[in-house]
Amino acid sequence: MRLISRLRYFANGVAIDEFDAATQTFLSVQDNIQRILNSRRGGLAHLPDYGLGDLSRIYRHLPASAHTLKNEIETTLLRYEPRLKAIDLTIEETEPGMLLSFTMSCHLHRLGLVQFGTHFAPDGQTRLKLLKADRERE
């Protein structure tokens, strides 16, 4: 049995077959980005630079450290999410209950643009919300 046939749901519990192929890709990218941003560097022996560094150091020095985190996110995602060809992060006004918020614009190879609201929570987790998905015109 192929792996893809075993995968029936996205990380948020929504069934994969509820969406067309392009939307499946956008949501799959969202799942992978969220997984990467919620991983910490050094957590995988075979990929020591996978994930983000110690966020407590970033949080301690906010707002000055927001640009450091922004650069770290861009570098890490471009390395570990192969469907991305470019990424733009804009620091936003922090949402209530969060420590830091970004709008993440991801330019995908051959598919288009997807934007996520990206929020760093006090519990150490990063949450992504799909804001916009634009398919490239063929």
Q: What dihedral angle (degrees, nearest 10) is formed by the CA atoms of 130, 85, 109, 80? A: -70
CA distance 131 to 106: 11
**What are the domain boundaries of the chain?**
3-135
> What's the burial of 126, exposed, middle or buried (CB within 10 Å: 0-12/13-18/19+)?
buried
Query: Does the structure show a pLDDT above 80 at 138?
Result: no
Residue 4's pLDDT band (cuts 50, 70, 90) = very low
Query: Does the structure show a pLDDT above 60 at 136?
Result: yes
Query: Tell me: the pLDDT tens digits for 45-54?
Result: 899 999 999 9
Residue 137's pLDDT band (cuts 50, 70, 90) = low
The CATH number of 3-135 is 3.10.450.40
CA distance 15 to 23: 12
Position of tokens 């948020």? 12
Q: What is the mean pLDDT of residues 62-86?
A: 95
